[in-house]
């Protein structure tokens, strides 16, 4: 096992409790009927194949909130092989049963995302280790912290955590401005940019002409949307010759099967949401007497 990256994302205690409340309801009827809740037991969540661990720390917290004290876990970002344990714990059977399925569901989604991210980052860095992988906020609502932690565990960085964090001008914004938007963007940025000195201005473009207008309007970063790699390559060369400090991103439809082409195009980073979707990791759970 080796640690791929150090990952920390803040999860509130109420959020973790909410996961348990959603699943448990009032009490575990099955274990109550079988009268097994007070028995000492052991639980283990184990990988059935090669995975990157993610969100194991949140399950440790869930167990600790149920007064389980004997807990061992692989840190998020650790690469595991089939048969390796993500988490092992000993305690009252009911506490372990309460966390069993919530923990498995969380691990299967988060580790699936982390593993896809790890594989994509490795493939891109084999082409050019300077190219970054950035993940979007195009995940189902309510999953942002899990998605961020899982992609960080795999070696990617979040592109944008929310609307209040970054200035990203899309065509939808320009459509609300007069005269195609470019003059208004330039005028407004000239007026307001001093108050945003620590922020980068990102403007999305679909053509080389739009990219040039965006830079002239004040863009620090151009985000090309749905432009093929073979077209991006000459555009990147042209733009860097004119504006050496400009950063260039590729976004839209980037997947594992085409990412290496984008990585070779000359962009600084790839922006993708594909990592959130795919097969879950295969995680098995065993419960035995303590």
* DSSP code string of 117-139: HHHHHHHHHHH-TT-EEEE-S-S
How many domains in the chain? 2
pLDDT on residue 1: 47
Could you tell me if 131 and 269 lie in one domain? yes
Could you tell me if 203 and 271 lie in one domain? yes
Q: What is the pTM of this model?
A: 0.93
Could you tell me if 133 and 236 lie in one domain? yes
Could you tell me if 219 and 109 lie in one domain? no
Could you tell me if 80 and 129 lie in one domain? no
Could you tell me if 137 and 254 lie in one domain? yes
Could you tell me if 154 and 254 lie in one domain? yes
109: domain CATH number is 3.90.1170.20
pLDDT on residue 6: 63
Could you tell me if 239 and 214 lie in one domain? yes
Could you tell me if 163 and 23 lie in one domain? no
The boundaries of the domain holding residue 159 are 122-276
Per-residue pLDDT of the chain (290 residues; tens, 9 = 90+): 454 566 789 999 999 999 999 999 999 999 999 999 999 999 999 999 999 999 999 999 999 999 999 999 999 999 999 999 999 999 999 999 999 999 999 999 999 999 999 999 999 999 999 999 999 999 888 899 999 999 999 999 999 888 988 889 999 999 888 776 888 888 887 787 777 778 889 999 999 999 999 999 989 999 999 999 999 999 999 999 999 999 999 999 999 999 999 999 999 999 999 999 999 999 999 999 98
pLDDT on residue 180: 66
Could you tell me if 138 and 272 lie in one domain? yes
Please report the DSSP string for the chain in residue order: -EE---------HHHHHHHHHHHHTT--HHHHHHT-TTSEEEEEEEESS-EE--SHHHHHHHHHHTT--EEEEPPTTEEE-TT-EEEEEEEEHHHHHHHHHHHHHHHHHHHHHHHHHHHHHHHHHHH-TT-EEEE-S-S-TT-HHHHHHHHHHTT-EES-S-TTT-EEE-HHHHTTSGGGSHHHHHHHHHHHGGGGTTPPEEEEESSHHHHHHHHHHT-SEEEEES--HHHHHHHHHHHHHH-TT-EEEEESS--TTTHHHHHTTT-SEEEE-GGGSSPPP-EEEEEEE-
Could you tell me if 91 and 130 lie in one domain? no
pLDDT on residue 264: 97
264: domain CATH number is 3.20.20.70
Could you tell me if 87 and 132 lie in one domain? no
């Amino acid at each position: 096992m080796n640690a791929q990256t150090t990952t920390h994302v803040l999860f509130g205690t109420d959020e973790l409790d909410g996961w348990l409340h959603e699943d448990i309801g009032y009490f575990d009827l099955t274990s109550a009927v079988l009268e097994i809740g007070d028995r000492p037991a052991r639980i283990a969540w184990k990988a059935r194949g090669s995975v990157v661990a993610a969100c194991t720390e949140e399950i440790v917290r869930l167990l600790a909130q149920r007064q389980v004290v004997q807990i061992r876990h692989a840190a998020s970002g650790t690469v595991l092989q089939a048969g390796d344990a993500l988490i092992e714990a000993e305690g009252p059977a009911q506490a372990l049963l309460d966390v069993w399925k919530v923990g498995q569901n969380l691990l299967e989604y988060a580790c699936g995302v982390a593993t896809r991210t790890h594989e994509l980052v490795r493939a891109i860095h084999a082409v050019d280790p300077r190219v970054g992988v950035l993940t979007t906020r195009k995940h189902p609502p309510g999953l942002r912290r899990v998605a961020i932690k899982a992609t960080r565990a795999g070696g990617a960085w979040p592109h944008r955590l929310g609307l209040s964090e970054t200035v990203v001008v899309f065509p939808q914004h320009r459509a609300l401005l007069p005269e195609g938007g470019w003059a208004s963007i330039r005028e407004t940025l000239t007026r307001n940019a001093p108050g945003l000195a620590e922020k980068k201005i990102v403007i999305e473009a679909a053509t080389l002409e739009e990219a040039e207008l965006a830079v002239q309007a004040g863009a620090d970063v151009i985000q090309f949307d749905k432009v093929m790699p073979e077209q991006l390559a000459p555009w990147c060369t042209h733009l860097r010759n004119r504006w050496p400090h400009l950063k260039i991103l590729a976004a839209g439809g980037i997947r594992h099967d085409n990412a290496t082409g984008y990585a070779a195009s000359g962009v600084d980073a790839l922006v993708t949401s594909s990592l959130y979707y795919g097969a879950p990791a295969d995680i098995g759970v065993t419960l035995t007497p303590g």
